[in-house]
Chains A and B, each alone.
Chain A
Amino acid sequence: MTKLFQKKEFGIGLIVILLALILSVVNPVFFTAENILDVLKANSVLGILAVGMTLIIITGGIDVSVAAVTAAVTVVIGKLAVAMHGNSWSILAIFIVAPLVGACFGFVNGILIAKTKIPPIVTSLGTMSILSGITLYVTNGEYMNSSMLPASFIQFSNFKIAGVSILIIIFLLTVLITWFVMKYLAIGRSILSFGGNPVSAMRVGINLTKVQIFVYTYMGFLAGIAAIVQTAYTKGVDPNGFAGFELTVIAAVVLGGANILGGSGSMLGSFLGVLLLGIMQNGLILAKINTFWQEIIVGAIILLAVSYDMIKRKREERSLAKVEVEG
Chain B
Amino acid sequence: MKLSKEWMLGLIFLGLFIIMAVCVPGFIDPYNLTSMLYQLPELGILSLGMMVVILTAGIDLSITYLAALSGVVMAYALTAGLPVPVAMIAGIIAALIGGLLNGFFVAFIGVSPILVTLGTMTLFKGIILLITKGNSVSGFPDSYSFIGNGDILGIPFPIIVFAVIALLAWYLLNKTVWGRSVYMAGNNPIATLFSGVNTKKVIMYVYLFSALMAAIAAIIMTSRYNSAKVDLGSSYQLQSIAVAVLGGTSISGGYGKVIGVIFGTAIFQVLSSGLNLLGVPGMVINILIGVVLIAVLLINFFTAKYKHNQLKKAT
Q: Footprint of B on A, CB under 8 Å?
A: 62, 64, 112, 116-119, 121-123, 125-134, 136-137, 247, 250-251, 254, 260-261, 290, 292-300, 302-303, 306-307, 310-311, 314
Contact = CB atoms under 8 A, between A and B. Distances in A.
A125 B115 contact: no
Nearest to A304: B119
B263 to A, nearest CB: 18
Interface of B: 59, 61, 105, 109-112, 114-116, 118-127, 129-130, 133-134, 238, 241-242, 245, 251-252, 281, 283-291, 293-294, 297-298, 301
A294 B118 CA distance: 15
B122 A302 contact: yes
B118 A126 contact: no
Given A137-B287, A295-B129, A303-B123, A129 B115 contact: no
B123 A295 contact: yes
A193 to B, nearest CB: 22
Given A260-B115, A303-B119, A306-B119, A122 B238 contact: no
Given A132-B286, A303-B123, A254 B294 contact: no
Nearest to A127: B290
Contacts of B59: 121
A137 B284 contact: yes
A250 B283 contact: no
B279 to A, nearest CB: 13
A269 to B, nearest CB: 15
* Residue among B129, B288, B290, B291 with max Cβ neighbours from chain A (10 Å): B290
Contacts of A261: 112
Contacts of B133: 292
7 contacts: A125-B242, A133-B283, A133-B286, A136-B283, A251-B122, A294-B126, A297-B126
A299 B119 contact: yes
A118 B297 contact: yes
B43 to A, nearest CB: 14
Contacts of A121: 59, 114, 241, 251
Contacts of B61: 247
Contact of B294 (A123, A298, A306): A123
